[in-house]
Amino acid sequence: MTAIEYTAQPGTPVHDYIAENREKLRRVLGERGALLLRGFEVGGVDGFDGVVQAFSGSRPLSYAERSSPRSTIKGQVYTSTDYPADEEIFLHNENSYQAVWPHTLYFYCIEPAHTRGATPLADIREVYRAIDPAVREEFVRRGGWQVVRNFHADFGVPWQEAFGTGDPAAVEEYCRGKGITAEWRADGGLRTTTVRAAVHTHPGSGRRCGSTTPRSGMSPRWRRRSRRGCGRSSRTRTCPPTRTSATADASRTRRSRICGPRTARRRRASTGSATTC
């Protein structure tokens, strides 16, 4: 994957640039999958929020069904995942476990990392093409992939934070509307189960592409700790195979072989923010 980079003279307002080149930028984004605007004057958090609206022409989606720890900076602008700097975030399709997901992701680098700190981006269209056709068709035949989430009080994101409410009735109503089965546990925790489509048709290009996250991103150390603390049936997120869903069984080596040549890396912020629309 090769992101298209547009570099400005220092101090050039990004809002003006987007207003003058919006259609071209949107077309290139649809073709290449990623844009990098470098050196523009953004105007802080408020300016970043304005960039999202100017480019997408609408307000950002509400951030529901959260699965990663993030801090709200302002409005719909959040920090990048609040993980230790030495932890790896595996390649994934953003919010693929939801019924509705963002059309565009926005990342704003406030302070460039001095070392490492890259954000890898992969072209899922090419990744999908590289997957064994038999595996692709199995996902289609079975109707998708199943995702099970277990919300615990002391491990992972609590359900109150994930759904943005402490009202169980509101959570149940949300789940019914999104095709999610909700089960309350005796200890006050929550277990949700749903099946999502694994293959989609891109609304712009009409190309088929995959949209799953059927592999854990935990390091071996954290997986062992998760098993000890939660047990196999109560892990915070699993993708068990069923008669109506398929789950890919790909090793890290195989995933790297498929994704590596289709991945671009850009330096990310050590203190950054992201929003979706």
Mean model confidence pLDDT for the chain: 78
Give CATH 3.60.130.10 domain extents, the chain. Answer: 4-121+265-276
Q: How far apart are CA 68 and CA 32, in angstroms?
A: 27
Strands (E) across the chain are located at 4-7, 35-38, 72-74, 77-79, 105-108, 118-122, 145-151, 181-184, 190-196, 199-201, 208-210, 237-238, 263-267, 273-276
pLDDT category of residue 252 using cuts at 50, 70 and 90: very low
Angle made by CA atoms 32, 38, 40, in degrees to the nearest 5: 125
What's the token pair of residue 197?
Answer: 């489509």
156 pLDDT higher than 70:
yes
Span 15-24, pLDDT tens digits: 999 999 999 9
The answer to whether the CB of 168 falls within 8 A of the CB of 263 is no
Q: Please tell me the class of the 4-121+265-276 domain.
A: alpha beta
184 pLDDT higher than 70:
yes
pLDDT category of residue 61 using cuts at 50, 70 and 90: confident
- Residue 251: what pLDDT? 38
- Residue 144: what pLDDT? 82
- Residue 33: what pLDDT? 87
